[in-house]
Amino acid sequence: MTTSATLHPLATSEPWNLVATAYAGEALQHFEVFAREALRLAELRPAARIVDVACGPGTVSVAAALGGARADCIDIAEGMLAELARRAAAAGVTGAIAAHLGDAQKLPFESGVYDAAFSMFGVMFVPDRHAAFEEMRRVLKPGGRAIVSSWVPFVGPFGELMNAVAELVPGLPLGGKLPLGSPDELRAELGSAGFRDIRVETVTYEMKAPSFDAFWDSIQRTNAPLVLLKSRLGDRWTALAPKIRERIRAALGDGPVVLGRGAYLGIGVA
């Protein structure tokens, strides 16, 4: 359980509202790789009912709806839900998706009626993950599956980014170890919430930028911690950004940048 004193900066709606449009427009192609694998592992029956917790722009939900499922989605960020609505309409699946603004720690859904529950890089940031996992288990039918993703620990670009930010803006609560950063953590927390037959799959996938300039340009729009920093610094960002950029460029060079190398998918049965 996370206390208010250690509340993760990504546990609030602010950074996700700030990045919602760019996230859906630029980063979604990478997240869809993990969503497809999560849906494969869920082994959904025809016309399944699913819950998508901390759904973002509906990476899982839209894909599931295109396959015949019906999805109840919940997120704390209105901007992400707006992107979900836009994507659902473009895909022609609006009628199969119900979106809710709300809290993963207290789902507004009926108990024991869903075939699968997903949280793709979302519930990992909530203040009380144990409560969120228990809620996911509560809404599932007996034998229903929960699929929860987290990142294989980042090395290189994002580590250099957070190090540069920490040096130049001391005391800012961005960075540190990502939650659910190991298979053992995923297994332990799913087990603590009452799931059984738990396993963790590692999905290997390199997210790349063709050059340092492309990397720097993109993360200023899509990286939630950095965009949050820009918002909070306001006019100070103009002077600070070149210093952060140069620190990172000196470490990474000007060539292609590997942003991340994959994700863990934790699977538990209710």
Q: Are 56 and 81 in contact (CB under 8 A)?
A: no
Determine the CATH number of domain 4-153+176-208+261-269.
3.40.50.150
pLDDT digits (tens, 9 = 90+) for 13-46: 999 999 999 999 998 989 999 999 999 999 999 8
What does the block give as tokens for 126? 């909530």
- DSSP calls for 22-57: HIIIIIHHHHHHHHHHHHHHHTPPTT-EEEEET-TT
pLDDT digits (tens, 9 = 90+) for 108-163: 999 999 999 999 999 999 999 999 999 999 999 999 999 999 999 877 787 788 77
- Indicate the length of the chain as a whole number: 270
Which of 48, 27, 261 has the alpha carbon at shortest distance from 155? 261
Q: Is the pLDDT of residue 49 over 80?
A: yes
CA distance 16 to 9: 11
Q: Is the pLDDT of residue 209 over 50?
A: yes
State the pLDDT at residue 6: 53
Coil, helix or strand at residue 209: strand
Q: Is the pLDDT of residue 172 over 80?
A: no
User: Could you tell me what percent of the chain has a pLDDT over 70?
Assistant: 94
Which of 222, 82, 100, 101 has the alpha carbon at shortest distance from 157? 222
Q: Read off φ and ψ for residue 269, nearest 5 degrees.
A: -110, 135
Q: Is the pLDDT of residue 5 over 70?
A: no
More confident residue, 259 or 201: 201
pTM here is: 0.91
Coil, helix or strand at residue 101: strand
Confidence of residue 11 (pLDDT cuts 50, 70, 90): confident
Q: Is the pLDDT of residue 4 over 70?
A: no
State the pLDDT at residue 162: 76
Q: Is the pLDDT of residue 176 over 70?
A: no
